[in-house]
Structure 1
Amino acid sequence: MFTSTRGFSRRRFLGGSAFALAAGALGMPFIRTARAQVPTFKAGVITSLSGDNILGGNLTKRGYDLWADAINAKGGVEVGGDRFKVEMFYGDDQSNPATGADAAERLIVQNEVDVLFGPYTSGSTIAVQPICQKYQVPMISGSAESPNVWKAKPEFNFGIIPAVDTTAGKSLAVLVKISNPTAKTIAVISVNEPFSKETGEGFRDGAKKAGLDLVAYELVPAEGDLTPVISKIAALKPDIVAVGGHEEPLINVVKTSKSLDFRPKALIMHYGVTDPAFAQALAADANGTCGVAVWLPSVPYKDDLFGTAKEFAEIAKKKSGHEPDYTEAACAASGLVFGDAIKRLGKKPALKPENRVALKDAIAETDIHTFYGPIKFEKDGNHYHDNIQPVPVLIQIQDGKTVAVGPKDAAAAALTYPLPTWK
């Protein structure tokens, strides 16, 4: 039986008992639940179904549900030649890490889930990790991007999206490779708040690996006049300017650069370029800005459940009416990791406590190729249990549309480089 509910509901785990009591009082025969008749795997999803992060929370939910729908349509997860369907249970973190930890504990204790699928935000993910450790239940996180999640070396948590410090750095290598003439110098601007700072550090550290000369690294407040910083960087004439920040600071960088008549040969930002608000706020001035995506429908990956990346995107759009982004794709791929691990483990539902520990060990040995890309978890270092295998896709806004420009096998258009002057 596949059950989908919005948020965590007492009705889901009390309904059977209430019905049984009512049936006994009326002299009706007791009806066993579907789980008693046909064993199922129970998966708990913790994400933001309310609060400030509800939009991102819905992205993660859609991705996890896409996998559950697809695998259940095939009869369920395969174990020892038999198939077992998946039941989904939801815990709303209300966009609050502490609430997310409480929701995870309820899913484990009251719903007896076999596996958890992780929250939208890194903050909630970090808060849930001790709960996974306490109850020895593995979690597969399809959204968390902060390197701080993995620096803690979580034994029971596994990440699908590479941490932002790796994707930012790798994107510069892609940009340098396809730039003509080859870019040689870079300046990095980083907003002084956790996620943006981690992105800026990724650009800074990746510059050296990409063979770039770092001429400036500037930490700036989230709000305020950027004129002094942009003026300083303009005088250094870097080929590339890289920015770590959310939408508003990114927009301000472009506006300030234009006001000073400064345009580098390439402008790259990590988070925010794919947000429609960025292009809407800047109109034609957004053209030429590059960004980073971990996944796009144009990547050359496929698997047996979803088919190609393009076919997955078509399935997702048909169901929700929206083009899926890389977070939704990574969450769907989280289910593929669980299916592969449980098949190799060979344990049928319901899992015993020792089976869940063994499942964690099986997940740690994952080495698969999916529509999302390769998935293999690091076994040591600062990215312990994170999947840093995928090569980021370099995107660029061209004529108001976001297109992939690198690497070569994922490109849908040529990189505009160098960027034309504002005049």
Structure 2
Amino acid sequence: MPWHRAVAQDVVLGASVQLTGPVANTGRYYRDAYQLAVDKINARGGVKLGGQSHKLALKLYDNQSDVNLSVRQYTELVTQDKVNLLLGPFASNFALADSAVAEKYQIPMVQGGGASDQIFSRGFRYIFGTLAPASNYFGSTVEMLKALKPVPKAVALLYADDAFDVSVAEGTRPKLKRAGFPVAMDERYSTNASDFSSLLSQIKSKGVDAVLMAGHETEILNFVRQAKSLGVSPAMYSFTVGVPSEDFRKALGKDADFAFGMTAWLPSAQLKDRWFGDAERFAQEYKARFGYDPDYHAASGVADVEALVQAMENAGSTDPQRVRDALASLRFNSLYGPIAFNAQGQIDLPQVVIQVQGDVLAKVYEANRFVKPPKYPMPAWTAR
């Protein structure tokens, strides 16, 4: 059935998201977050422009986890569907490619799915991002390493060969050096890798006691499962993704215990916004509607919609240039945190270190101090 705008007055937001394929598990956070935000804002009266209320409509394509298809779909959203403004896909390599479409047609894209510094280092004017820079994902973790007792003696930095993970590694190397940690391993592996046995045997033979790993959720799951089967248990390991997600913890069960991760967002009544009230209420509504807990991907997805709405209202218009300028000077509180884009179009929220501690996802280290004692060092698999 062909898609039509419901009303000529609707403000249409367009996006291409991974609903099928290898990264659909994370892609659905964005589909669900965008829809929930659109419905919530519409229920609160929609977007107020020049004294008139307009409903939001969402036009969503499935890019099937294919970057080339995603680029074609964003081009179609702009040239054929004539959407007003753009929301982003998940993952840095997608955001990197898709933002070129936004730039070419000068239509603002706000995305909370790509954190790679590369996205924002090209001087583009129409891309805005709500994820913290990938280069600083391990910043708080490296600070925590210095405070652990005993302090780790040898660190492994492992990362996939995609835009996000390469940015993570590039930012983490100098942080480890400044902190005085010898890097025993600095290894790139291929995206969607399923065999980590050679890296794990190196971790064992080189006496690595702290592993920092940047990758996507399926890679992290494979790594942990193989670490168990090969009996490799460093004193600690930390992952850029997975740990905040309910699915990750369900997939591994008790084997998820002791894993460190990071998040720029946890549901809190202190995070207020004008549509949901606060982040705790948002998390309850999200879980009730979709049957799973939101993590920072979902919260950043909602913030993307809120940012576009706030910018349209500040500009009093849906004109792409005026909305772009309003985004550049935006200052507001969302349920995800304070939104204010820097000159490159990115925001920087501090990463909280979290750890799976039995049935609890514990906030362990924040603002250069332990909030809760970490479970460290990690016991051998046979001693659990």
TM-score band, normalised by shorter chain = 0.7 to 0.9
1:190 and 2:182 equivalent? no
* 2:174 corresponds to: 205
1:230 and 2:203 equivalent? yes
Amino acid at match of 1:259: G
1:278-318 Cα offsets, whole Å, 9 max, x none, are 55676544322211122221484221212222111011111
Match of 1:356 among 306, 320, 329: 320
Contact 2:155 2:185 (8 Å CA) reproduced: yes
**Alpha-carbon distance between aligned partners in 2 of 1:78 and 1:186, rounded to the nearest angstrom:** 56
Contact 1:226 1:252 (8 Å CA) reproduced: no
**Alpha-carbon distance between aligned partners in 2 of 1:142 and 1:180, rounded to the nearest angstrom:** 32
| Matched residue SS, 1:206 | helix
**Alpha-carbon distance between aligned partners in 2 of 1:11 and 1:305, rounded to the nearest angstrom:** 28
> Structure 1 229/275 Cα, relative in aligned 2: closer, same or farther at 3 Å?
farther
TM-score w.r.t. structure 2 length?
0.85
Identity of aligned residues (%): 26
Match of 2:347 among 387, 391, 394: 387
* 1:165 corresponds to: 135
**Alpha-carbon distance between aligned partners in 2 of 1:299 and 1:216, rounded to the nearest angstrom:** 42
**Alpha-carbon distance between aligned partners in 1 of 2:340 and 2:369, rounded to the nearest angstrom:** 21
Contact 1:342 1:359 (8 Å CA) reproduced: yes
Structure 1 residue 336: deviation in Å?
1.3
Task: Report how many residues are paired.
Answer: 373
**Alpha-carbon distance between aligned partners in 1 of 2:76 and 2:238, rounded to the nearest angstrom:** 42
1:22-49 Cα offsets, whole Å, 9 max, x none, are xxxxxxxxxxx732xxx23221122123
**Unmatched 5+ stretches in structure 2:** none
CA RMSD of aligned residues (A): 3.0
| Matched residue SS, 1:10 | coil
**Alpha-carbon distance between aligned partners in 2 of 1:410 and 1:324, rounded to the nearest angstrom:** 26
1:311-348 Cα offsets, whole Å, 9 max, x none, are 1101111111111121111110111111221121122x
**Unmatched 5+ stretches in structure 1:** 1-8, 14-32
1:89-140 Cα offsets, whole Å, 9 max, x none, are 1233232222222212222223322110011232332222222122211111
Q: How does 1:147-158 map to 2 (within 5 A)?
A: 147-158=117-128
1:115-168 Cα offsets, whole Å, 9 max, x none, are 100112323322222221222111111211233322333221111111322222
Moved more, 119-128 or 60-69: 119-128
| Matched residue SS, 1:394 | strand
Match of 2:53 among 83, 92, 104: 83
**Alpha-carbon distance between aligned partners in 2 of 1:309 and 1:215, rounded to the nearest angstrom:** 38
1:415 and 2:379 equivalent? no
TM-score w.r.t. structure 1 length?
0.78
**Alpha-carbon distance between aligned partners in 2 of 1:126 and 1:196, rounded to the nearest angstrom:** 13
1:345-394 Cα offsets, whole Å, 9 max, x none, are 122xxx4xxx2112111111122222101222221xxxx21222x11121
* 1:302 corresponds to: 272
**Alpha-carbon distance between aligned partners in 1 of 2:38 and 2:224, rounded to the nearest angstrom:** 38
Structure index of larger Rg: 1
* 1:12 corresponds to: 4
1:374 and 2:333 equivalent? no
Amino acid at match of 1:377: F
Structure 1 residue 231: deviation in Å?
3.0
> Structure 1 219/64 Cα, relative in aligned 2: closer, same or farther at 3 Å?
same
Match of 2:43 among 43, 48, 73: 73
* 2:74 corresponds to: 104
* 1:312 corresponds to: 282
Contact 2:29 2:297 (8 Å CA) reproduced: yes
